[in-house]
Amino acid sequence: MEWKFLQLNAPIYLDNNATTPMDPDVLTAMTPYFLNKFGNAASRNHSFGCEAAGAVEDARQQIAKLIGADVREIIFTSGATEAVNLAIKGVAESTFYADKGRHIVTVRTEHKAVLDTCAWLETKGWHVTYLPVDEFGLIGLKQLEAAITDQTVLVCVMHANNETGVIQPIQEIATLCKHRGTLFFTDATQSVGKQLLDVDDFGIDLLAMSAHKMYGPKGVGVLFVRRRKPRVRCEAMIHGGGHERGMRSGTLNVPGIIGMGAVATLCRQNMGTEQQRIRNLRDELQRGLSDRISGIVINGSVEHRLVNTLNISIEGIDSEVLMENIPDIAVSSSSACTSAALQPSHVLAAMGRSDGHIAGSIRFSLGRFTTAIEIAKTVEAFAAAVNSLR
């Protein structure tokens, strides 16, 4: 049976965990640095370069304020994936930790950037412990404590999961790591800008983030690397000039960095009111779908999740078929970074979900520009499509 939902007046975008539309104010801040302010930030012997360098440092300060960091702890990268690689490989390759051991602890539900990097280190002689999660997607602190040994150099636990939105107790995790004398790294790509996160209050040693997940440009990210208590050593993965405190060489993406600084300021200003508005819309979406469609199961913790994320499975429905029948609503059936591989969600599998359950999973992720009208239309469209397919 072929069925297509009546075309909507305009496409509806509910895939903000994959990427966000750029805020127009961010583009306004970036535009001069594509045109007349085009200097290389490393060319400080003339006004063009000095102007670019000054703007980069202003952006570095804006980003540092967002996460409560020292400006010197902000290292610019091409995005979160590079930041993750630099954090994990950089610590692993540092001679400072050579006598400590060759053991890393992470979680089965981490982003592939973490899992694939850890798998690569295993080929180099490192031992990696992959912690399980419970049915709600949460790790057990006692299991983590038992996994840390005297040889553990690094613990990697993401703050918020990209597929389910589940938030791990990273403050407690960081405290445990400090007591055991190991470094703590968190991939905070999905949470930075969406909710309060202070690296000092939370006890984070390394943190990865990306501009395009919070209404900024693609192609720019940040790795936070703690300078004191403890000072974290991170070996460079890219060489060629010693930029970014010697950790990441290469000409800086000045327009992208300016954009990331601008969006960091916008997030700080709007986070409180924006959180509540998006939570209300997410809850309305959840209620509407549950009222109109039978056999819905929410994937992940309801209490500990991002305010913008709703991951559900619909009994007896294949999500790929359902999405084909609602082409004007952009959602995701798995993480955007792995969907091209057409593999079942490793996150839901780690939570003990069945193959059929995983096949029926859909992630809705709302954002700054999501409206109440769009939520109402989405509920109507999904209810009609599911009922027709059944």
Q: What residues act catalytically?
A: 337
Residue type present at position 225: V
Q: Counting beta carbons within 10 angstroms of the beta carbon of residue 201, is it exposed (0 to 12), middle (13 to 18) or buried (19 or more)?
A: exposed
User: How many residues would you count in the chain?
Assistant: 390
- Residue 386 CA to residue 362 CA, distance in Å, equals 13
User: How would you classify residue 59: left for phi > 0, otherwise alpha for psi between -120 and 50, otherwise beta?
Assistant: alpha
Residues 74 and 206: beta-carbon distance below 8 Å: no
CA-to-CA dists, residue 160 to 242, 313, 371, angstroms: 32, 20, 23
Q: Mind spelling out the 3-state secondary structure of 364-380?
A: EECCCCCCHHHHHHHHH
φ, ψ of residue 254 in degrees (nearest 5)? -60, -50
Please tell me whether residue 160 adopts helix, strand or coil conformation.
Answer: strand
- Residue 307 CA to residue 375 CA, distance in Å, equals 15
**Which residue reads 């490989």 in tokens?**
89
Contacts of 42 (CB under 8 A, 6+ apart): 49, 53, 241, 243, 251, 252
Would you give the DSSP letter of residue 35? Answer: T
Residue type present at position 203: G
